[in-house]
Amino acid sequence: MNTARTYRKLYKQKLATAEALAERVESGNVVCSDITLAQPSGLLNALAQHVKKDGLTGVKQHTVLDVYPYEMYQNADLLGSLTGISWFSSGGARKAINGGYGDVMPCYYRDIPSLFEQYVDVDYFFAAVSPMDSHGYFSMSTVGSNSEAMMRKAKHIIVEVNKNLPRALHSPMVHISQVEGVCENTIPLVVLPQAKIDEVSQTIGNLIAEQIPDGATLQLGIGAVPDAVGMALKNKHDLGIHTEMFTDSMVELIECGAVNNSKKPIHTGRTVATFAFGSQRIYDLINDNPAFELLPVDYVNDPAVIAKHPNFVSINAALEVDFYGQVCAEAIGTKHVSGTGGQVDYVRGAVQSPGGMSFIAFPSTAKGGTVSKIVPMLTQGSVVTTSKNDVDCIVTEYGIAKLRGRPLSERAKALISIAHPDFRDELTFAAKKQNIII
Ligand code: COA
């Protein structure tokens, strides 16, 4: 009979050190982990040591938004023996990709589960999980994301239990009978430094907040501007959250009562995200909270699911936007900065939602005011994140340019009108030279 005692016995049988478990990986194997706090730092550090000590070759490690300083992203000498492939990069992967010793996977976040299922032969799925419950289940904690697909694809599942990880009631689970090894690593949870909301971000936040009706459902992206929008919504009522990343400003909105999810037609009364990352306040809010759902990204970020919410509002950031409204949020020329993530999923979902709106918002300039982020052409070598055919509204501290449904000449004029005044003449000159303003 399967009782709590049987599961504990199984747990003890499978318990080993991170080093012993990592040593099961062989040359040529493929290892993957999911996003942010689902990454098991003990196992992944032990893997790097094993590769070096035992001279393994051809091991590939897939990462999504790396949050630990992985050795393969710090040490170019590991290329070929332990090679990182990033599906969404932060600091570490960015350095390796730009340094020529890390690889990058072009993808929409919502497609990662199906891309793994179709194209990646996974040997090992390594995951950080919260402690096992009396029924033998480990919660994937703050992460819905890709874990279910990665587990379906992996030949071997190994988990690292961190007692500090919150237990989410609605997140993917893995059972002790499914895992081949367990290690324990009680470490503090990674927290994101609070984004600094300066005057410009505050102005942009207020401009967008004016557009958001009571009862709207929100997605807020990464960065100071989406955070500023969140902070500017505290006086609204009956807001809902259906988002990719759950962030600190959303905790504020729940705690002050602006968000109650009461108007959402699906998941009514519950906050939905595909992962949560930020401060300890977020992790405390998730723990044992039935009003929180952390669900797989192929569901959460599906534009058809997003569009089911009337008045859906999506807010994301960008690095550059050209006269067509092509949005680059992931590179500056050939310099890799970030990934596509869920930006396009939410732009598409929001514009299909009845009364929905998508805002791509950013300060009008970068580099201390020396560079306009609205440009005639994207910097050579850059990539398009959101296409001209999907884009809806662009916002800077000078206003909102509605692009959707407008021809190129009107788009260019609207964009120039919200560029920094110091750059408007040269942008107008360029638009005329390109025969765009007619
Ligand atoms: N030219 C040159 N440098 C630029 C620039 C430009 N046009 N725009 C920004 N930069 C620089 C900044 O100065 C900053 O440099 P620093 O790191 O040396 O300070 C860096 O690029 C990052 O810009 P910043 O505006 O501070 O970024 P952010 O933290 O607000 O994040 C994105 C902006 C676009 C990178 C981020 O939103 C992202 O990763 N988006 C893609 C995924 C996404 O949208 N997902 C949405 C669902 S969660």
Helices marked H in 328-420: 343-352, 408-417
Q: 193 near 159, Cβ under 8 Å?
A: no
- From CA 85, how far away is CA 98, in angstroms rounded? 13
- pLDDT score recorded for residue 1: 64
- Which residue, by CA, sits nearest to atom 39 of ligand 1? 338
Q: Are 160 and 183 in contact (CB under 8 A)?
A: yes
Would you state the pLDDT for residue 338? 94
**How far is it, in rounded angstroms, from Cα 438 to Cα 435?**
6
Pocket test for ligand 1, best of 64, 196, 319, 372 (most atoms within 8 A of CB): 319
CA–centroid distance, 320 to ligand 1, in Å, is 9
C-alpha–C-alpha distance, residues 47 and 134, integer Å: 30
DSSP state of 84: E
Element (H or E) spanning 299, and its range? helix 297-300
| Residue 212 confidence (pLDDT) | 97
Cα 231 to ligand 1 centroid, rounded to whole Å: 20
Mutate to test the pocket of ligand 1, among 222, 300, 383 (most ligand atoms within 8 A of CB): 222
Pocket-testing residue among 107, 337, 347, 394, ligand 1, by greatest number of atoms within 8 A of Cβ: 337
> Closest by alpha carbon to 240, among 293, 196, 170?
293
Residue nearest to atom 18 of ligand 1 (CA): 367
pLDDT the model gives residue 249: 92
Residue nearest to atom 30 of ligand 1 (CA): 223
Alpha carbon 237 to chain centroid distance?
26
As given in the structure block, the two tokens for residue 194 are 């609070």
| Matching residue, tokens 């996974």 | 122
User: Does ligand 1 have an atom closer than 6 angstroms to the CB of 192?
Assistant: no
Distance CA 318, CA 24 (A): 42
Cα 193 to ligand 1 centre (Å): 15
Atom 11 (ligand 1): residue with closest C-alpha? 366
Burial label for 342, CB within 10 Å (0-12, 13-18, 19+), is buried
Q: Which residue numbers are catalytic?
A: 244
Tens digit of each residue's pLDDT, the chain (438 residues): 679 999 999 999 999 999 999 999 999 999 999 999 999 999 999 999 999 999 999 999 999 999 999 999 999 999 999 999 999 998 899 999 999 999 999 999 999 999 999 999 999 999 999 999 999 999 999 999 999 999 999 999 999 999 999 999 999 999 999 999 999 999 999 999 888 889 999 999 999 999 999 999 999 987 889 999 999 999 999 999 999 999 999 999 999 999 999 999 999 999 999 999 999 999 999 999 999 999 999 999 999 999 999 999 999 999 999 999 999 999 999 999 999 999 999 999 999 999 999 999 999 999 999 999 999 999 999 999 999 999 999 999 999 999 999 999 999 999 999 999 999 999 999 999 999 997
CB of 224 closer than 6 angstroms to any ligand 1 atom: yes
Looking at residue 191, what is its pLDDT?
Answer: 96
